[in-house]
Chains A and B, each alone.
Chain A
């Protein structure tokens, strides 16, 4: 077993055992913290597909995170008020069913990623960063002005959505659901990275002209990656909104995009478990340092600076050595 695999296995074991121990010790807050870490990790796994595999520095992923969040918020609020979403041409009612909400979140954020990606991927480098940021801000200001769903104040949901056969109001079953979805996303990332599609995507990051010379369209490869990436981040958004039972424009802010990117860079760009390591460290620091000072981001900034300067493979690279991902 390589060091990276051992590290991944230990991290996964920690994610399974810590909440179980917290349950035994009757500390639900620890489970909620772990849930937050797992959901943020899921969002970052999404970004890692675009950033790690495709080399796409997107500063607009909060848009997908927020679209997923609002998909949950809108469906659940209509279910709560018994008012249908639409009556014409077909009757669409709200729902409190998690699987349906996840599906809508995935489809809505995937569609948004398709449109944003199709336009943004015409550019590259700093222009790509700026155009994704611009789209993110566009969605952000749209939600601020969307009075029907709370505008700037956001939207509260009073009851957590349901999953067949599980009591999702209890912290542990909800955590379990989030962890299963994170594992599914990690499995997908791994399969993608090793598939001919992932290899071609990695090659397109290195020498796009040569990928075209073997008959593959680099833009299409990137667009597919961007859509999958956006859809996963959207799913994370729906879970995040369910965790907090609240959705607001803050989920779509550019700071949120930066936060998701920090998770990936902190853990290791392109590494399978990089986003997970990044999210666990981030949430732990937020909890520990946040209790000492509200300016805890200063310490996070220093750590990030250290990682970027001295450990460019992120936490996973630091533990397991260079080679798996890319800088």
Chain B
């Protein structure tokens, strides 16, 4: 059975409809790439999963319908979100950001700082004073501290220096090999996605238009739906 299942999901922002029918399924321990050009509905799909916006269709997590749940209950079921733009708690220190999110489980301060040693070095520093890359690591660490079963990374490497991007991708690769966590990655870096993901779903104009494993994701398909 799939851990996460979306069937014919629709969503709108006021009068304008953003999702017209998204289908995707993600199994336990699977790493899935959600891809598409800008404005095709990737982040809206994430917001719909996390119940940050109302959505039509069916969204199930671990067999449970998320339709009536508030956002925080979805997170408690085990959906950890690393939001686009990082959105750390700016006035709190690194440690406080992590402690505020902590829920019981294998992920604790020690394990997060082992994954991102830089966070350990900057433990007492307020989030607002961190570099973009460090804030991204903190956002991932914060999501891990909730001990999720599904980690959603929304544009986790966007706008970062190449060397920091490498660090983030290396951490994602470690999560894939060292944990049983399912991961949903939204990104445009095809080569990196190929290295860490099992399958991909392409979105176009608010619809899922292609689903397949990474081996069958040909350059033609990538060019057509992502433009790379």
The answer to whether A and B interact is yes
Could you tell me which A residues sit within 8 Å of B by CB distance? 196, 199-200, 202-203, 206-207, 209-218, 326
Whether A214 touches B101, Cβ cut-off 8 Å, given contacts A199-B96, A209-B52, A209-B71, is: yes
Residue contact A210 to B72, C-beta cutoff 8 Å? no
Whether A213 touches B100, Cβ cut-off 8 Å, given contacts A203-B89, A203-B92, is: no
Tell me the smallest distance from the CB of A143 to a CB of chain B, in Å.
Answer: 37
- Determine if B27 is an interface residue (Cβ-Cβ < 8 Å): no
Whether A212 touches B75, Cβ cut-off 8 Å, given contacts A196-B102, A200-B100, A203-B100, is: yes
Residue contact A196 to B99, C-beta cutoff 8 Å? yes
Residue contact A202 to B89, C-beta cutoff 8 Å? yes
Chain B CB within 10 A, most for which of A209, A212, A218: A212
Using A209-B52, A210-B89 as known contacts, list a sample of 12 further A-B pairs with CB atoms less than 8 Å apart, ordered by residue number in A: A196-B99, A196-B102, A199-B89, A199-B99, A202-B91, A202-B92, A202-B100, A203-B100, A206-B89, A214-B142, A217-B72, A218-B72
Q: What chain B residues lie within 8 Å of A203 (beta carbons)?
A: 89, 92, 97, 100
- Determine if B55 is an interface residue (Cβ-Cβ < 8 Å): no
Chain A CB within 10 A, most for which of B76, B92, B101, B103: B101
CA A11 to CA B97, docked complex, whole Å: 32
Tell me the smallest distance from the CB of A269 to a CB of chain B, in Å.
Answer: 13
Residue contact B87 to A207, C-beta cutoff 8 Å? yes
- Determine if B202 is an interface residue (Cβ-Cβ < 8 Å): no
Residue contact A213 to B89, C-beta cutoff 8 Å? no
Of all chain B residues, which has the CB nearest A218?
B72
Tell me the smallest distance from the CB of A259 to a CB of chain B, in Å.
Answer: 28
Select B91's contact among A196, A206, A212, A217, beta carbons within 8 Å.
Answer: A206
Q: What chain A residues lie within 8 Å of B63 (beta carbons)?
A: none
How large, as a class, is the contact surface on chain B? 20 to 34
Closest 6 CB pairs of A and B: A215-B75, A212-B71, A214-B101, A199-B100, A203-B89, A212-B72
Residue contact B89 to A207, C-beta cutoff 8 Å? yes
- Determine if B83 is an interface residue (Cβ-Cβ < 8 Å): yes
Q: What chain B residues lie within 8 Å of A199 (beta carbons)?
A: 89, 92, 96, 99-100
Q: What chain A residues lie within 8 Å of B76 (beta carbons)?
A: 215
Of all chain A residues, which has the CB nearest B148?
A215
Whether A214 touches B75, Cβ cut-off 8 Å, given contacts A196-B99, A199-B96, A199-B99, is: yes
Tell me the smallest distance from the CB of A232 to a CB of chain B, in Å.
Answer: 23
Could you tell me which B residues sit within 8 Å of A by CB distance? 50, 52, 70-73, 75-76, 80-81, 83, 87, 89-92, 96-97, 99-103, 142-143, 145-146
Residue contact B83 to A217, C-beta cutoff 8 Å? no
CA A212 to CA B50, docked complex, whole Å: 9
CA A245 to CA B87, docked complex, whole Å: 52
Residue contact A212 to B92, C-beta cutoff 8 Å? no
Select B70's contact among A200, A206, A212, A214, beta carbons within 8 Å.
Answer: A212
Q: What chain A residues lie within 8 Å of B87 (beta carbons)?
A: 207, 210
CA A202 to CA B142, docked complex, whole Å: 15
Q: What chain A residues lie within 8 Å of B72 (beta carbons)?
A: 211-213, 215-218
Of all chain B residues, which has the CB nearest A209?
B52
CA A150 to CA B100, docked complex, whole Å: 48
Residue contact A213 to B90, C-beta cutoff 8 Å? no
Tell me the smallest distance from the CB of B45 to a CB of chain A, in Å.
Answer: 15
Residue contact A213 to B99, C-beta cutoff 8 Å? no
Q: What chain A residues lie within 8 Å of B90 (beta carbons)?
A: 206
Tell me the smallest distance from the CB of A242 to a CB of chain B, in Å.
Answer: 39
CA A246 to CA B209, docked complex, whole Å: 74
Q: What chain A residues lie within 8 Å of B73 (beta carbons)?
A: 215, 217
Whether A210 touches B143, Cβ cut-off 8 Å, given contacts A196-B102, A216-B72, A217-B70, is: no
Chain A CB within 10 A, most for which of B52, B72, B75, B146: B72
Q: What chain B residues lie within 8 Å of A207 (beta carbons)?
A: 87, 89
19 intermolecular pairs with C-beta atoms under 8 Å apart: A202-B89, A202-B100, A203-B92, A203-B97, A206-B91, A207-B87, A209-B71, A210-B89, A211-B100, A212-B72, A212-B75, A213-B83, A214-B142, A214-B143, A215-B103, A216-B72, A216-B75, A216-B101, A218-B72
Q: What chain B residues lie within 8 Å of A212 (beta carbons)?
A: 52, 70-72, 75
Whether A213 touches B103, Cβ cut-off 8 Å, given contacts A203-B92, A207-B89, is: no
Tell me the smallest distance from the CB of A161 to a CB of chain B, in Å.
Answer: 41
CA A211 to CA B92, docked complex, whole Å: 13
Of all chain B residues, which has the CB nearest A220?
B72
